[in-house]
Structure 1
Amino acid sequence: MLLDFKDKKEAASNPVSFKIKDICLISRGVVISKKIIFENQGIYPVYSSQTVNDGILGYINKFSHEGEYITWTTDGAYAGSVFYRNGKFNITNVCGILEVKDKNLVNVKYLSYVLSKNAKKYVNTGMGNPKLMSNTMSEIEVLIPDIKTQEKIVYILENFEKICEDLIIGLPAEIEGRKKQFEYYRDLLINFSQEREREREDYSIEEIKLIQFAFGFLTIKLQNIIYINIGKQLNKDKLLPLGAYAVINGGVEPSGYWNNFNYTKDKITISQGGASAGFVSWQDKNFWAGAHCYIVFDKNKLINYKYLYHFLKNKENFLMNNQHGAGIPALSKEIIYDIEIDLPTLEKQNEIVSILDKFETLCNDLNKGLPAEIAYRKQQYDYYLNLLLKFEK
């Protein structure tokens, strides 16, 4: 269905926990001395426990492995260091090697990123010689999302600099800084794919952009992407029955008119006080916002402003049901800020807005269509509005 993201959210929300032994064949390398390398020089790399030069100890004229694998350093100062390998190669006895059993279930490079992030936590540093042996590696638990999510994360990390440039995410000039930022965003994407960071409320703009790009959406509180102003009191004795600019306050209709405005057109307003507190409206002309009128703004250009209006309109009943106060009912900013929104990419937002705007125009234009058609169009609009990123949890 057009606006139903159920499949995408369910897939991204249900990673499965596996032990490494359940998804990989585990083995060790063999002793390959410098003498063997010297006497059998060739084109196939020999990977050792070191991390410099990608762990290459030398090259010989035969290979023990061919294809996609993950290797890790089992002993010494670099124990727990993880590498993705692809091709024909050899490994020494201080390296372990993982062969993924089912590549339709687990992307090898994705698993290498996960283990690069987590493996060192399992290194035994006792007796002065750090170790991460096969028996320990086999019991490490990892959360694996659907294969498409894994592939998307791998694509982003393989094309990290280009994607950061496209998303206008700044990168440090120095190599060491870029490495740290790569590791930071690698961990962010892996954590998000495994649901461990979805409750955060302090995502940066750059993090939001990257998560949207990777997963298609981000569940986030409105406080991250909007700010709210409140209008200015205009006493009743100044209100005019007719005037150039409507005065918007706590009601559904204007309180009156005034000869000046304090906000320009194309703004979202929400009634702050009165029986209609929580009523959401779109102001298509310059207007005066009164003391019982909230004006909602996009904070960081991460949301199509009209999309935000449709979303808030969909939440209107919720807002009106959350009025407080024994005298004149009121709606607090905190209620609005605390609402969660499943925020797709701007491209998807634009597509949704285009459709909903057309439906809304047909519903509001009483000169188009017969009453039965108008009622049907209104029904359609309400249906799609209710589906507006209403992912099933």
Structure 2
Amino acid sequence: MAKISYVEKQILDICDIIPENHKYTKNYINNNKGEYPVYSANTNMPFGYISDYDFENEEVFCVVNYGDSGKTYNITTNRFSIGRNVCGVKIKEEYKSVLSLEFIRLMAEQKFLLRVKGSKQKNLNQTLVKTTEINIPVNEDGDFDIEKQKEIVKKYNIIEDKKLELKEKLDYINSVEVDFMASNEEKRTIILPFEELFEIERGKVISQMYINNNKGDYPVYSTQLDMPFGYINNFMYDGKYLIWNTDGLGGYIRNIEGKFSITNIVGIMKLKSEYYDTVNLEYIRRILQPIFRQNTKGREGIKGKNEYTKINSTMIKNLNIKIEFPATKDGKIDLDKQNAIVKKYDLIDEMKQKITDKGLPFTLANVELDGLTPYIYIYIYINVSELFNIVRGKSKYTKTYCKNNYGQYPVYSADNYSPLSYMNTYDYSGKYLSVSVNGIAGVMKIFNEKFSINADRVILIPKMENINLEYVSNVLEYRLRDIAKGRKGIGRKNEFTKLTKNMIDDIKIPIPFNCYGDIDGDIQIEISKQYNQILKIKDILVKKADDIINTEIKF
């Protein structure tokens, strides 16, 4: 990324200030009604409209001086006046061709908000506005770079739009509670037994040979969750139904509509006709699936792999499932409320899908919206195994082996400070992150050379781009140190701890993503700098503490 040069300027150096005009009171406006706006501290609309105007065809933005102090807004009309509690800002004539007013507004507002005075009645007087300093990009000759200003404004606006879009979605998600039917109103529900709602039955044997011999347009569903088993020229059902896996990945439920068939390892829930117009099948699916999954029997596997579980019709009937529906004031099942709850579920799924489409299983941890800078990022906690291939060093690299194959390339072992020895070949060339797994386990070290490691260390090889090794080292090391097994010792003295590959694989670390769903390398760099600064301060304090402890006091 090319380095951008900036020059710092006060607003008064580059802009003229249009002071407030006290004559434009409410009484004046009522007595002089017209078509031309008078702008004031209200950022949403003009204070009023009068029959005359003070300015014409001027490019101006306003700064609120009292009330919502520090906020800015653009004037979008050709003829206007400026009233009370606000001042106007316009570029000096000599700079109009090299400065962007919108760039100035965006950069200055951040500073204005920080300079506001007062605890109750906030104010930002015109002297503070004039003396506010902003950084303006310049070209190689030191002249104002108008193209770079426009580029920054464009990026700012794109991100602001994304920020607003995400903020709206986050506000919506924040309204979602553990109980989706919770509200400030009295909770009204209707509870119905599963058997009251559905008749259930199992599919029939449909083999691959049968499908091959009866090809057609109608899907056959088996236990595959993401696609039909095949397509045939006839169908068993026509309508809207819930189907569930009775075997394999037992308990998963799908909402199916149209003409289709199911195999004998899939069951179907047929909603009784009296509930066709009162219940949302997707609402029911989201309630039932966790119950079904929690009550399957069989081999669960590890992380869903090699699973073979079952939940048949008899098992479901024995669960005595009751489904809670929101109810209207007159005691009927509330379909609209069900639809709203499903919409909330779908929104959460949509946000997660934007990330999972990139192949990243994740847990959404938190979202930070920085109101002062045009930036937004999301922390996603991801398993180390999803980010890196973890490769252990070779046990044959002993001191004896290195002595017999002596050369110029270092071999690193459990010692985190110096090589075990040197040999005449190497396994890695470049920048890599490594972890000690024996001795003082969990300590991380970045190598940027031609080197090898023995079995006391592992190498972390990134699976994806934009992973900053310094950032990962900072956020991962203390987590690994916490879970290392063995004799911890005091201050790493007399310590002998171990880590296994599986222990490292299962650790989740926060990775920042930008609003486009991409891993954010710039944020990682910035956080790493902050970590390193803290470590430097820590080292200084430790040294001073040691000096104090070792000081000899004589009486």
Higher relative contact order (CA 8 A, sep 6+): 1
Could you say which TM-score interval applies, normalised by the shorter chain?
0.3 to 0.5
Structure with more of its chain in strand, by fraction: 2
Structure with the largest fraction of helix: 1
Bigger CA radius of gyration: 2
TM-score of the pair, normalised by structure 1: 0.45
